A and B are shown apart, each in its own frame.
Chain A
Amino acid sequence: MATGIFGIGITGLQAAQAGLVTAGHNIANANTPGFSRQQVVQANAQPQSSGLGFIGTGTQVVTVRRMFSEFLNLEMLNAGTQSAELDTYYAQMRQIDNLLADPTAGLSPALQDFFSAVQDVAAFPNVSSSRQALIAAATALQSRLRTLDGRLTELRDGVNQDLATTSEAVTTYARQIADLNQRIIVARNAAGGQPPNDLMDQRDQMVAELNQLVRVSVIVQDDGAYNVFIGSGQPLVAGTLAFGVEAMRDPLNPTAMTLGYRSPAGLTALPEASISGGRLGGLLAFRSQSLDPAQNALGRVAIALAQTFNAQHALGQDLHGNLGTDFFAVGDPQVTHPTSNGGTAQISASFAADAASALTTSNYRLTYDGVNYTLLRLSDHTQQTFATLPQTVDGFTLTLDSGTPAIGDSFLIRPTAAGASTLDVLVTDPARIAAAAPIRTGQGAGNIGTGVVSAGTVDSLDPNLQQPVTITFTGPNTFNVTGAGTGNPTGLTYVPGQDISFNGWTLQITGSPVAGDTFSVGPNTGGTGDSRNALRLAGLQTEKLMMGGTASYQTAYASLVSEVASKTRELEVTSAAQATIHQQARTARESFSGVNLDEEAANLIRYQQAYQAAGKVLAIASTLFDTLLEIGR
């Protein structure tokens, strides 16, 4: 009987001690990340059967359990990985947000300065300082485009760098989780199946931190080990084995870094679409959804400017009396031939005549299936199929230069990616700015009638453009045309104001000419004061030449700014919202698993009292024993 009460007292003491220690452990770990509060699970001990019935034998500690909810933890992981992705994306976007629209460092001021300089040449075509200023403004525009493009390239390099360091961190986490798996299995076995709570907390914390880097999925094995999967189901941790990810050159686009999966079989690229969540997801989404289109859009402005400006410049005449040459140069579309291609095909791309208006900001993938080529526009996944090359699509022409493709070969085409970085100013001699038109019109000195000829416009580069042509009226309503290239037609009908076009020029005659009146077209020799072509060059600034004829250069650029700004704005809002969701998920998890110091203080008092009470039980048992001893004395 006395042993019984001693025993009971001791079990009480032990249980209270366990409670005190656990409360102390909870208090000590109140600020440990990922810590789940622990609780002593107490149960009454097996009672002893006596004739009088079952008599209790005290208490026992069944286990120490951690307060951990799979569900709440998963909620927090999901919210966290998405929040990390959006935060990363947003942080990257903010860098280009302000870059593009800066009132001094953006493209707009340089573009405006350039066209102001064109206007100045139009106003003072034979003043060499205004011509010099135009070349300076063109060079400034070129350097501004290169600076902006350079900043975007720096960001791209930063993304590549980040991919490398982040994937190293992912690999490290994978190793640590595999290691913890090992220790947890050992500890559990050693403790007879009791859970090693603190190791499990550590592992869950590792998984949570890994989720901040990239979204992973976790499956719990029977032995309590975690299997962790990345991408489209590649195992990152399988029990006690860890695999890794590494940044590697994209086999389909050797100029870019992508994420590779390292397994015993070697390094294979993970499809970018399968990587989501966390820092890596954010970086890849930023690169493919915002950085590439932004750089392409900038390039497209440069290409459209170069193409349209060159085309108009070629229709003009410089101070030397020569036709205008290319004012800008811009690099051809980039075609990447992956090393994995089996065939020998060398594909090249060039800009089509309608590039300025037809180009998109997308990249393209050309694949060959043995019969047909399929061109996939990566921005919206529309595709076109054709059997032969060359083909012109979206403002660029694909040509098979040499060799033959093998089945399954693919080629990456980036039409506008290098536009901004390759724009060059070719005209460096101010005299070679083609401000004048190459032809001029005149009327015969002895014309009797009241016919007046317009100044004429140049529409195309005809070999006979500058050949002298005479229009001679044979009556009030008929005229003949003589001059090389015209075919010398006779008896043409005169309609006042109607276009008369030969040799690439167009003019109108109005009024009432009479028989014998002549009008002439000829080279604009010595026309240094003429600025007709400069005016047309200046007019390009507001002409809707881009995006299918709906946008000027400035509008196209403004739409880039607005797209970037809207995306940034959207990310600002969604990342804040996601942060709130993450916070709520964390609060929910914490409300279950987190330590409340007041609660632990109460537990301390509770277990202290239990300890004191159990002590009293022992004291009484001791008095009882003394009583028995006194009897025996």
Chain B
Amino acid sequence: MRISTGTIFDLGVQSMGRQTQTLLEIQQQISANRRILVPSDDPIASARVLELTQADNLNAQYGTNAKNAGNRLGLTESVLGQAVGLLQNARELAVQAGNGSLAPDDRRSIAGSIRALREELLSLANSSDGEGNYLFSGYQTSVRPFTATPAGIQYNGDDGERLLQISSQRSIGVSASGADAFMRVRQGNGYFVVAADPDNAGSVTYTPGSVVDAIALTGNDYRIEFTVTPSPTGDIVTYDVINTTTSATVLAGQAYEPGQAIVFDGMQVVLEGTPANTDAITVTPSGRQDLFATLDRLAVALETASEGEAGRAALTNFLTDALVNLDQGIDSVTALQAVFGSRMRESENAVDGSEVAGIQYRAHISELQDLDYAKAYSDLIRAQTNLQAAQQTFVQTSRLSIFDYI
């Protein structure tokens, strides 16, 4: 084919230009340490990198949230731990107060200690975090959750649970409602409450009772009514168990034996002491107690306990109530503390998980856009060689001219 002289120059210059461009691109890649300099270098990877970067940032955010969650959970958990200790102190004091040999002054002094514990519990319940947010006021972080009123301690917060998102699918609660922690604790044994009729004249005392058959529970109110029939051989004491909700008599005319279990509708109650005629014991489904009020009532009972058999029985019953209620309090606060403990572990796991995921995201991003140095250097050398070859051949071919010989 006929080749015009211009074409020889054009093609030579063009091929050198192409080689120079390749060389420059590789040089830019090496100096930026990126394989993708502009998105069009690899459109799919570029879009993927954008998505992965968002995922990485989001993941880092979740990690930060999880750390924050861990801190807040830790704070609440430790406050709850202190509250448990405090309730245990109160329980020990209540046990101590049951010692029959105590003088009224001793009981008053115990009552004083219990009041002090109540104040301490109040200040724990009003704890706030480093930013002045109350821990136990629900959503209303700037409202003091527990305040004293003439009617007792009042809860001003709400049932809201503050949340932090620690992973794409999980928001973790980082606060507890003060009502749940301190104001809505179960009474009695958790199922039912045994109480003495306030008009009782005898010395019947009771234990908190227990559930023997959960399926048989009815949730109704009951009354164990005593009938004392005098007889020459001693008083004959019998009792009836009446379901006051349905007015049905569950057990009738049963002989009363102190210390013997009375079992009805899945419940078992053990009574001691000697009842007077028409004395009664009530059994009602377990309601809710306010731990501050429980401590208050305990203190008041210790201060005002009267002597005498009936008075002592009343105090014994009262202490039984107080102990079982404090046990419920300890259980419930401990359970809450355990929830917070496990959430702390979950948030720690989330922190670790976020770190691992972050490494993976960054590795993936790097794989997509970073440069393989070994390959880049070998490309660089090849491009250099190509350029040199193009230059040399261009010089040599363009030098050939017949005019040199004319």
- Contact (Cβ within 8 A) A591 B39: no
- Contact (Cβ within 8 A) A561 B14: no
Within 231-283 of B, Cβ neighbours of A (below 8 Å) are at none
C-beta contact mask, B168-186 vs A, less than 8 Å → 1, else 0?
1001000100010001100
C-beta contact mask, A580-623 vs B, less than 8 Å → 1, else 0?
00010011001111111111011011000000000000000000
- Contact (Cβ within 8 A) B140 A448: no
Q: How far is the CA of A565 from the CA of B171 in the complex (A)?
A: 37
Within 522-563 of A, Cβ neighbours of B (below 8 Å) are at 524-532, 535, 538-539, 541-542, 554-555, 557-559, 561-563
Q: How far is the CA of A171 from the CA of B401 in the complex (A)?
A: 42
CB contact between A108 and one of B53, B219, B403 (< 8 Å): that residue? B53
- Contact (Cβ within 8 A) A440 B287: no
Within 23-39 of B, Cβ neighbours of A (below 8 Å) are at 38-39
- Contact (Cβ within 8 A) B140 A527: yes
Give chain A's interface secondary structure class. helix
Kindly state whether residue A441 has any CB partner on chain B within 8 Å: yes
Q: Assuming A445-B184, A514-B219, is B162 touching A530 (CB within 8 A)?
A: yes
Q: How far is the CA of A101 from the CA of B6 in the complex (A)?
A: 42
Kindly state whether residue B384 has any CB partner on chain A within 8 Å: no
- CB-based A-B contact count at 8 angstroms: 208
Q: How far is the CA of A102 from the CA of B403 in the complex (A)?
A: 55
Which residues of A lie under 8 Å from residue B11 when comparing CB positions?
Answer: 583, 587
CB contact between B39 and one of A101, A455, A604, A605 (< 8 Å): that residue? A101
Q: How far is the CA of A539 from the CA of B181 in the complex (A)?
A: 30
Q: How far is the CB of A148 from chain B (nearest CB, A)?
A: 14
Kindly state whether residue B5 has any CB partner on chain A within 8 Å: yes
CB contact between B158 and one of A440, A563, A565, A602 (< 8 Å): that residue? A440
Which residues of B lie under 8 Å from residue A539 when comparing CB positions?
Answer: 165
**Contact-residue bracket for chain B:** 35 or more
Q: How far is the CB of A456 from chain B (nearest CB, A)?
A: 10
Which residues of A lie under 8 Å from residue B61 when comparing CB positions?
Answer: 116, 119
Which residues of A lie under 8 Å from residue B179 when comparing CB positions?
Answer: 442, 445
- Contact (Cβ within 8 A) A97 B406: no
- Contact (Cβ within 8 A) A568 B40: yes
The stretch among A122-130, A324-332, A389-397, A402-410 that forms the contact with chain B is A122-130
Kindly state whether residue A75 has any CB partner on chain B within 8 Å: no
CB contact between A524 and one of B14, B38, B133, B139 (< 8 Å): that residue? B139
Which residues of A lie under 8 Å from residue B378 when comparing CB positions?
Answer: none
- Contact (Cβ within 8 A) B2 A591: yes
Kindly state whether residue A17 has any CB partner on chain B within 8 Å: no
Which residues of A lie under 8 Å from residue B370 when comparing CB positions?
Answer: none
**Contact-residue bracket for chain A:** 35 or more
CB contact between B50 and one of A97, A455, A558 (< 8 Å): that residue? A558
Q: How far is the CA of A171 from the CA of B57 in the complex (A)?
A: 55
Q: How far is the CA of A558 from the CA of B51 in the complex (A)?
A: 7
Q: Assuming A101-B39, A529-B175, is B65 touching A123 (CB within 8 A)?
A: yes
Q: How far is the CA of A10 from the CA of B255 in the complex (A)?
A: 164
Kindly state whether residue B1 has any CB partner on chain A within 8 Å: yes
- Contact (Cβ within 8 A) B164 A123: yes
- Contact (Cβ within 8 A) A31 B139: no
C-beta contact mask, A441-453 vs B, less than 8 Å → 1, else 0?
1110111100001
Kindly state whether residue A398 has any CB partner on chain B within 8 Å: no
- Contact (Cβ within 8 A) A598 B5: yes
- Contact (Cβ within 8 A) A126 B141: yes
The stretch among B41-49, B92-100, B198-206 that forms the contact with chain A is B41-49
Q: How far is the CA of A122 from the CA of B165 in the complex (A)?
A: 8
Within 131-167 of B, Cβ neighbours of A (below 8 Å) are at 131, 133, 137-143, 155, 158-165
- Contact (Cβ within 8 A) A529 B165: no
- Contact (Cβ within 8 A) B139 A538: no
Chain A residues packing against B (C-beta within 8 Å): 30-31, 37, 93-94, 97-98, 100-101, 103, 106, 108, 111-112, 115-116, 119, 122-124, 126-127, 436, 440-443, 445-448, 453, 455, 514, 524-532, 535, 538-539, 541-542, 554-555, 557-559, 561-566, 568-569, 572, 583, 586-587, 590-599, 601-602, 604-605
List 24 contacting pairs A-B, 8 Å CB cutoff, sorted by A.
A31-B6, A101-B39, A103-B53, A440-B138, A440-B160, A446-B288, A455-B160, A455-B161, A529-B137, A529-B139, A529-B162, A535-B165, A542-B58, A555-B51, A562-B39, A565-B42, A566-B44, A569-B41, A586-B10, A587-B10, A590-B4, A592-B2, A596-B2, A598-B401
Chain B residues packing against A (C-beta within 8 Å): 1-7, 10-11, 14, 38-44, 46-51, 53-54, 57-58, 61, 64-65, 68, 131, 133, 137-143, 155, 158-165, 168, 171, 175, 179, 183-184, 219, 285-288, 401-403, 406
